[in-house]
């Protein structure tokens, strides 16, 4: 053993081969500051070992290297840009030093090599992977670009166009794909990996493989003619500008960095990368996207913990109500391996539920993501039934009938009466109190809400709603089932609208008030989509949700919060509802909905909507983008803060991910609390105070003011005691 650290070791094998092994104390290998320190020491140990003739890099974990330790990033990135450049250069210099070892090097890549893990392999002369490898540079998903030499080495190994595609999408690639573009030198079965890599390294030591020739292109400028350079980078920049847009700067800065570095040697190219990385590290998008990743880890960690704590396993499920929502729930459960009974009272509904599931599967087959055998297997996991007898032996029931408390109460009582004592009953409701529904059943401790979002197969979020009598065991089992379905569950406490709908309707109220004051709903949609980054503006979203549904929910929220969310007089949503304009479901709402010449959904602003609003709205008035954003977002953020303070949702991470996964809050903003903290609490309060006269939804809480005065963060503070 020539070196032994806590995460890294280097052992001299026969024939002068040094095995450099990553074996961190945790479950995965990753680059943190301590590992970098050991990395430097390993290089020094190899350089001073007279017997060393070649290096094989291996991992003692199931995954080679998962990248850098992101938890260190946010605090480090608070430094000024000029301080970040030498910080990242210090790290990239270590990879350069390893690449400069005066002997051949080879990476034996197993499992996963992402981010810094992939960059570690790029610093080697040769790369051999097992057949199960997933490799790539996903930094763009964090609002960053590779910072350990990835933008320099990858283009010189696989070509600039391939490298830009890899880095701008952030996709992980299979071994066969990496071999095809020239990143890998060989792919072997997992059990052959180490021997194959050692065999190749021995050939390089013996001079049968020219390792110096393999290394040289990574030290030189890109071999592109002037015309090739213009064609490659102009095309890449055009495609990235169209796809990424202005809210995601990382892909464009990354491709410009590669372009600027293309005529430089490694030293110059690395300097370009260091500067580009530091610039991106200071962007709001990077702060938000890194925060988003960390918040998602909170959800995954809680789901994993629930799975371990769950006393009852869910091996068979049932959904009551076989409409579009029921069919989507049935599909998701069956697709992820949990057989499910889909029960309804008529064949027509069952046909609709089955056709919903079959339609989703058919599209996957058409896109090559699934074969017919797999499709048949999923459909066989769904058992349609008109009888409660088929539900008797299930572990969990998801009630998804019409959104009516009396109907739901009756169905819940019926199904509970035929289930086993320990079976769990849930309700897929978006507005009805779980405590109210619990009055219809005899075992409220086994009952909770399980709120899916439509379309079920696309929307990641499930709200697990805890009633006052719901047991911890029930919550754990339902969270585990939701995670098993491939969803991201958050646990919320019962209240009107639960979490997502509760914070959405103040946003809609801000929108309605603007329309009443003369704002054009199309202009509002444009600002909230193009400027703020929502996937759809509020008017279009209301049409998609259903104007009738929104009007009903507004009534529920008004009853629950009579002072703060009192229904607006002449609310444009109610006006459309009373005139039977329900949105997409009947083709008319704020917009008239139809099909274009290619059969794709289309929408045009509805003249009828303008005519209906004219009688009750002020004369047309233009509002600035800043005011439109403030008037809609202040009410939403304020309500999110209230939900945290009241314990409706437990953490800022869950509050953020709930809106990102539930209603498409712009990811580059990181969620409502990350958005609040990016603005700055004091700045947000000043902005909100300008509109405080408009009503309670614009008035910030004392808790928020106290947080601002104390300089605290919602991500490190127990909000309920702040």
Greatest CA separation found in the chain? 90
The number of beta carbons lying within 10 Å of the beta carbon of residue 405 is 16
Q: How far apart are CA 79 and CA 609, in angstroms?
A: 51
Angle at 325 between CA 322 and CA 330, to 5 degrees: 65
Residue 112 marked as a ligand binder: no
430 carries a ligand binding annotation: yes
Element (H, E) at 320: strand 317-320
Q: How far apart are CA 495 and CA 161, in angstroms?
A: 52
Question: 722 and 647 in contact (C-beta within 8 Å)?
Answer: no
Q: Which of 451, 552, 593, 693 is catalytic?
A: 451
Q: Is 454 annotated as a binding residue?
A: yes
Q: Would the annotation count 130 as a binding residue?
A: no
DSSP 620: P
Q: Which residues of 352-382 are buried (b: 16+ CB within 10 A; e: fewer)?
A: bbbebbbebbeebeeeeebeeeebeebbebb
Which one-letter DSSP state was computed for residue 143?
T
Annotated active-site residue 247? The verdict is no
661 is annotated as contributing to ligand binding: yes
Decide: helix, strand or coil at residue 10: strand
Give CA–CA dist 502/701, Å, rounded.
16
- Per the DSSP assignment, residues forming a β-bridge with 426 are 398, 448
Cβ within 8 Å of residue 680, ≥6 positions away: none
Q: What would the two tokens of residue 573 be?
A: 């949503």
Looking up tokens 């890449």, which residue turns up?
236
Residue 374, C-beta contacts closer than 8 angstroms, at least 6 positions apart? none
CA nearest neighbour of 211 among 150, 125, 115, 313: 125
Flag whether 344 is marked binding: yes
**Burial code of 77-104, b = ≥16 C-beta within 10 A, e = fewer?**
beeeeeebbebbbebbbbbbebbebebb
Q: For residue 129, what are its two tokens? A: 């992977």
Sequence-ordered list of residues with C-beta below 8 angstroms from that of 396, at least 6 positions apart, any chain: 314, 317, 318, 423, 424, 425, 426, 477, 478, 481
Taking the C-alpha atoms of residue 466 and residue 450, their distance in angstroms, rounded to an integer, is 9
403 annotated as a binding-site residue: yes
583 phi-psi bin (left φ>0, alpha ψ -120 to 50, beta other): left
List, as residue ranges, the binding site for substrate: 296, 501, 661
List, as residue ranges, the binding site for NAD(+): 325, 344, 401-403, 408, 430, 454
List, as residue ranges, the binding site: 296, 325, 344, 401-403, 408, 430, 454, 501, 661
- The residues annotated as belonging to the active site are 451
């Amino acid at each position: 053993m020539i070196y032994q650290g806590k995460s890294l070791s280097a052992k001299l094998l026969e024939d002068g081969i040094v095995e450099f092994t990553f074996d961190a104390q945790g479950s995965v290998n990753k680059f943190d500051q301590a590992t970098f320190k050991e990395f430097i020491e390993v290089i020094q140990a190899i350089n001073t070992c007279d017997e060393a003739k070649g290096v094989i890099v291996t991992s003692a974990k199931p995954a080679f290297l998962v990248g850098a330790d992101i938890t260190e990033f946010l605090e480090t990135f608070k430094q000024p840009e000029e301080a970040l450049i030498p910080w990242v250069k210090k790290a990239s210099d270590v990879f350069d030093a390893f690449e400069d070892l005066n002997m051949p090097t080879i990476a034996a890549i197993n499992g996963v090599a992402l981010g810094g893990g992939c960059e570690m392999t790029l610093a080697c002369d040769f790369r051999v992977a097992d057949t199960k490898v997933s490799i790539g540079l996903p930094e763009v998903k964090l609002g960053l670009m590779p910072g350990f030499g990835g933008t320099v080495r990858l283009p010189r190994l696989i070509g600039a166009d391939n490298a830009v595609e890899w880095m701008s999408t952030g996709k992980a690639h299979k071994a066969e794909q990496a071999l095809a573009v020239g990143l890998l030198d060989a792919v072997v079965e997992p059990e052959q990996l180490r021997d194959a890599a050692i065999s190749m390294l021995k050939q390089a030591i013996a001079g049968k493989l020219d390792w110096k020739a393999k290394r040289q292109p990574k030290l030189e400028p890109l071999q592109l003619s002037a015309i090739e350079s213009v064609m490659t980078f102009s095309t890449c920049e055009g495609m990235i500008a169209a796809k990424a847009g202005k809210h995601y700067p990382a892909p464009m800065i990354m491709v410009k960095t590669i372009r600027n570095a293309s005529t430089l040697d490694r030293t110059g190219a690395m300097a370009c990368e260091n500067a580009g990385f530091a610039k991106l590290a200071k962007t709001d998008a990077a702060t938000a996207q890194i925060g988003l990743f960390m918040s998602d880890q909170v959800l995954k960690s809680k789901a994993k913990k629930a799975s371990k704590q769950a006393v009852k396993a869910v091996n068979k499920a049932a959904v009551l109500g076989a409409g579009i929502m029921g069919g989507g729930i049935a599909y998701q459960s069956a697709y992820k391996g949990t057989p499910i009974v889909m029960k309804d009272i008529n064949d027509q509904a069952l046909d609709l539920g089955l056709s919903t599931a079959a339609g989703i599967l058919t599209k996957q087959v058409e896109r090559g993501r699934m074969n017919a055998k797999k499709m048949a297997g999923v459909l066989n996991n769904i058992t349609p039934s008109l009888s409660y007898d088929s539900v008797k032996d299930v572990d969990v029931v998801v009630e998804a009938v019409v959104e009516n408390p009396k109907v739901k109460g009756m169905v819940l009582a019926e199904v509970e009466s035929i289930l086993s004592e320990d079976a769990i009953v849930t309700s897929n409701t978006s507005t009805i109190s779980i405590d109210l529904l619990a009055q219809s059943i005899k075992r409220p401790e086994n009952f909770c809400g399980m709120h899916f979002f439509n379309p079920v197969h696309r929307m990641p979020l499930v709200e697990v709603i805890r009633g006052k009598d719901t047991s911890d065991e029930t919550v754990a089992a339902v969270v585990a089932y939701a995670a098993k379905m491939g969803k991201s569950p958050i646990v919320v406490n019962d209240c009107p609208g639960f979490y997502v709908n509760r914070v959405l309707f103040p946003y809609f109220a801000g929108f309605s008030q603007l329309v009443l004051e003369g704002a054009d709903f199309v202009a509002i949609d444009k600002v909230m989509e193009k400027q703020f980054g929502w996937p759809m503006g509020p008017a279009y979203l209301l049409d998609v949700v259903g104007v009738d549904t929104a009007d009903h929910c507004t009534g529920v929220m008004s009853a629950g919060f009579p002072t703060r969310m009192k229904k607006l007089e002449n609310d444009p949503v109610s006006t459309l509802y009373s005139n039977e304009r329900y949105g997409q479901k009947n083709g008319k709402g704020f917009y008239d909905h139809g099909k274009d010449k290619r059969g794709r959904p289309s929408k045009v602003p509805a003249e009828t909507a303008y005519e209906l609003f004219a009688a009750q709205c002020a004369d047309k008035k233009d509002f600035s983008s800043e005011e439109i954003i403030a008037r809609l977002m202040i009410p939403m953020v304020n309500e999110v803060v209230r939900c945290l303070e009241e314990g409706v949702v437990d953490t800022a991470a869950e509050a953020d991910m709930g809106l990102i996964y539930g209603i498409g809050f712009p990811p580059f903003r990181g969620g409502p609390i990350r958005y609040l903290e990016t603005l700055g609490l004091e700045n947000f309060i000043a902005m909100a105070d300008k509109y405080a006269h408009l009503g309670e939804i614009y008035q910030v809480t004392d808790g928020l003011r106290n947080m601002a005065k104390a300089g605290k963060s919602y991500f490190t503070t127990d909000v309920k005691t702040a």
